[in-house]
């Protein structure tokens, strides 16, 4: 198959011929139709993370068609149309309690590019290993090895390419509102960062009936998009009185921080009312720096994957999309696999909200 391989943190994706192993027990082979590009993929630009993975195929918002099932797979069959999300073990206390995003093996299964036992299932033209288990899928390729647990079967009539981003970024934003905040009608939300995650939160907050949805970003185009998707007001990032503009008095009930920038993380707490809850989702090296008194009446948490169960949330989001309440198409720009480096550059520059790598199937 053709795959986009990242061989160095500061180098481009290279389109290479890669050979995949047959699916093992619990695994399925998925022919990829669409692959969303998420900012979490940029973690492999970090020297420490890149050194651990070696050559790797990234991509963790896949959609496609099941072409082969491994031993023991009972809930999927060849020909099923699926969305692919994060992986989990299924047997730890968190998984059994309905919280797979807090799986004790989450980092091992999703952040290493390898199976839990350290193995990979892909090799390059020279026979060398290529890590292909990024978030249990590595979907920047024509085919991916996923697991029975991290695939969600969807109706064959649905547009797989468009729905691919539901697997992580959009799930994280919407799930943070629905699952972690449990935002109720009339409550208020401040969103820091109007990328795909932040805008998914805006759409979810509108669905939940939020009374005030304020969005902070540096780009005018993103602020305009936020207003179009349901924000009640916007604030330009970097303004001297940003906290006061967001608070407008007592403060907001909830905040969502997507940037992982230290100063923005602090602002996401400072804008809260009491009681209030800040949900952090940004992946990066930013730090949380607070005096203990700032937490009086306030809660701060970091939410992985919107604290979601993909098999529950993704069908719900599809239903909202079908009803016109969650217009994914207004976020997505499609690129071919050969243009993956352009997709990454456009994402970093902010000119594209949600790049999706499309494959002709």
- Strand pairing partners for 190? 214, 255
Whether 361 has a pLDDT exceeding 60, the answer reads: no
Task: Note the pLDDT of residue 358.
Answer: 97
Assess whether pLDDT exceeds 80 at residue 50.
no
| Exposure string for 226-260, b = 16+ CB within 10 A, e = fewer | beebbbbebbebeeeebbebbbeeebbbbbbbbbb
Q: What is the pLDDT of residues 219-229, one digit of tens each?
A: 999 999 999 99
- Rounded Cα distance between 352 and 105, Å, is 33
pLDDT digits over 162-179, tens only? 999 999 999 999 999 999
| pLDDT tops 90 at residue 27 | yes
Q: Alpha-carbon distance 56 to 44, whole Å? A: 9
CATH number at residue 250: 3.40.50.720
Provide mean pLDDT across the span 113-123.
95
* pLDDT of 261 over the 90 cut: yes
What is the reported pLDDT for 34?
A: 98
Residue 265 resides in a domain: yes
Please give the model's pTM, rounded to 2 decimal places. Answer: 0.95
Structural domain includes residue 140: yes
Bridge-based pairing state of the strands 252-257 and 188-192: parallel
Q: Is residue 326 part of a domain?
A: no
Structural tokens at position 116: 């839990």
Residues 299 and 353 in one domain: no
Residues 207 and 284 grouped into a single domain: yes
Q: Are residues 201 and 264 in the same domain?
A: yes
184 with 250, same domain?
yes
Residue 285 has pLDDT above 60, yes or no: yes
Instruction: Tell me the per-residue pLDDT of 304-350, one tens digit each, with 9 for 90 and over.
Output: 999 999 999 999 999 999 999 999 999 999 999 999 999 999 999 99
Question: First and final CA of the chain: distance in angstroms?
Answer: 13
Do 211 and 296 lie in one domain? The reply is yes
Place of tokens 């069908």: 315
For 74-98, the pLDDT digits (tens) are 999 999 999 999 999 999 999 999 9
Domain containing 199 equals 173-303
What pLDDT sits at residue 230? Answer: 97
- Average pLDDT of the residues of the chain: 95
Arithmetic mean of pLDDT, 244-267: 95
256 near 277, Cβ under 8 Å? no
Average pLDDT estimate for 278-289: 89
Q: For residue 216, how many C-alpha atoms fall within 13 Å in the half-sphere facing its CB?
A: 25
Give 196-225 pLDDT, tens digit per residue: 999 999 999 999 999 999 999 999 999 999
As for how many domains the chain has, the answer is: 2
In this model, does residue 360 exceed pLDDT 90?
A: no
48: pLDDT strictly greater than 90: no
Q: Are residues 162 and 215 in the same domain?
A: no
Contact status, residue 64 vs residue 167, Cβ threshold 8 Å? no
Domain annotation covers residue 313 = no
Start-end of H helices in 248-333: 262-270, 310-322
What is the distance between the alpha carbons of residues 171 and 321, in angstroms, rounded to a whole number?
13
Which CATH number is 142's domain given?
3.90.180.10
Whether residues 6 and 154 share a domain: the answer is yes
The pLDDT score that the predictor gives to residue 42 is 87
Closest CA relative to residue 27, chosen from 81, 79, 83, 67: 67
Residues 218 and 71 in one domain: no
Same domain, 20 and 161: yes
pLDDT band at 51 (very low <50, low <70, confident <90, very high): low
H-state helical runs in 120-187: 160-163, 169-175
* Whether residues 156 and 184 fall in one domain: no
pLDDT above 60 (res 135): yes
pLDDT at position 299: 96
């Amino acid at each position: 198959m053709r795959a986009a391989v990242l061989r160095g943190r500061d180098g481009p994706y290279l389109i290479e011929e890669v050979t995949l192993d047959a699916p093992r027990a619990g695994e399925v082979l998925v022919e990829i139709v669409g692959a969303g590009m998420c900012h979490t993929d940029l973690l492999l630009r970090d020297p420490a993370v890149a050194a651990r993975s070696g050559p790797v195929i990234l991509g963790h918002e896949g959609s496609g068609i099941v072409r082969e099932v491994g031993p023991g797979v009972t809930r999927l069959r060849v020909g099923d149309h699926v969305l692919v999300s994060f992986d989990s073990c299924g047997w730890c206390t968190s998984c059994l309690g309905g919280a797979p995003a807090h799986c004790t093996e989450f980092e091992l299964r999703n952040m290493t590019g390898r199976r839990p036992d350290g193995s990979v299932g892909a090799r390059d033209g020279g026979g060398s290993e290529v890590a292909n288990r990024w978030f249990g899928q590595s979907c920047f390729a024509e085919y991916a090895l996923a697991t029975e647990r991290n695939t969600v079967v969807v109706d064959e009539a649905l547009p797989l390419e468009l729905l691919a981003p539901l697997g992580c970024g959009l799930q994280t934003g919407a799930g943070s509102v629905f699952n972690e905040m449990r935002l109720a009608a009339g409550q208020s939300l401040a969103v820091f960062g109007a990328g795909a995650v932040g805008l998914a939160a805006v759409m979810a907050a509108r669905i939940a009936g939020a009374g005030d949805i304020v969005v902070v970003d540096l780009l005018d185009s993103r602020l305009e998009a936020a207003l179009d998707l349901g924000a009640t007001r916007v604030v330009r990032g970097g303004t001297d009185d940003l906290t006061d503009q967001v608070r407008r008095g007592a403060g907001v009930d909830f905040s969502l921080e997507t940037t992982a920038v230290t100063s923005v993380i602090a602002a996401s707490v400072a804008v809260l009312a009491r009681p209030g809850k800040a949900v952090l989702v940004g992946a990066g090296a930013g730090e949380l720096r607070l005096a203990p008194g700032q937490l009086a009446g306030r809660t701060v948490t970091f939410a992985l994957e919107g604290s979601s169960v993909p098999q529950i949330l993704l069908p719900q989001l599809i239903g909202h999309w079908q009803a016109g309440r969650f217009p994914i198409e207004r976020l997505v720009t499609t690129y071919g696999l050969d243009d993956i480096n352009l997709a990454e550059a456009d994402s970093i520059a902010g000119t594209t909200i949600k790049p999706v790598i499309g494959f002709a199937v």
